[in-house]
Chain A
Amino acid sequence: ILNVEQSPQSLHVQEGDSTNFTCSFPSSNFYALHWYRWETAKSPEALFVMTLNGDEKKKGRISATLNTKEGYSYLYIKGSQPEDSATYLCAFANTGTASKLTFGTGTRLQVTL
């Protein structure tokens, strides 16, 4: 079983703060790294799929970077808002099993006023 780790496990920030969290994954046989946003009582929703070393993707105030050589990805949220409160999951796919994702345990973000 592949090891995908996320840190921190949970995070409390105030509205307007910028924050970031980390996903670590095996650096060999890399195919893709996914980020999902999971709100309580809803289903996970895709944020980014990243495949190239050095990739940087952005959606509004959220962005992500990818380093496949050292096996990590960062997710950044600029100017956090209460609606950003959710669990952020990363998932790793290695070559040959692109449909098989291994998920990290997530970073639970709470943004307070």
Chain B
Amino acid sequence: EAQVTQNPRYLITVTGKKLTVTCSQNMNHEYMSWYRQDPGLGLRQIYYSMNVEVTDKGDVPEGYKVSRKEKRNFPLILESPSPNQTSLYFCASSSPTGTGQGETQYFGPGTRLLVL
């Protein structure tokens, strides 16, 4: 089954304790992204990657790191989490169509993070 998986789904942590949220897709997609969703603000892109070893900042990258060592995986790293990073996080992947038809993004199930 084609899917994007994220782990963990729920996480409670404390300020300053490094954490990693994993994201994996089995569709051989080139593009992967991380978003955070906060009430009243919609989905905001944190980082995106257009291929292995190619990453770029989205709209809200501060406090986050990513890596893309393999095509299928795109982990999100919070080196020193703070309470303002409490949010719902989504990973997504897509593939360039080459037809000018746009690229549908496939979303993971989400990770709800609470930083105390």
Contact = CB atoms under 8 A, between A and B. Distances in A.
A and B assemble together: yes
A43 B108 contact: yes
Interface string B34-48: 010000111111001
B107 A99 contact: no
Interface in B61-116: 90, 94, 96, 100-110
Contact of A43 (B96, B103, B109): B109
Contacts of B27: none
Contacts of A104: 42
How many chain A residues sit at the interface, stated as a range, is 20 to 34
Contacts of B101: 32, 49, 51
Nearest to B93: A99
Contacts of A61: none
A105 B40 contact: yes
B42 A99 contact: no
B33 interface: yes
Interface of B: 4, 31, 33, 35, 40-45, 48, 50, 56, 58-59, 90, 94, 96, 100-110
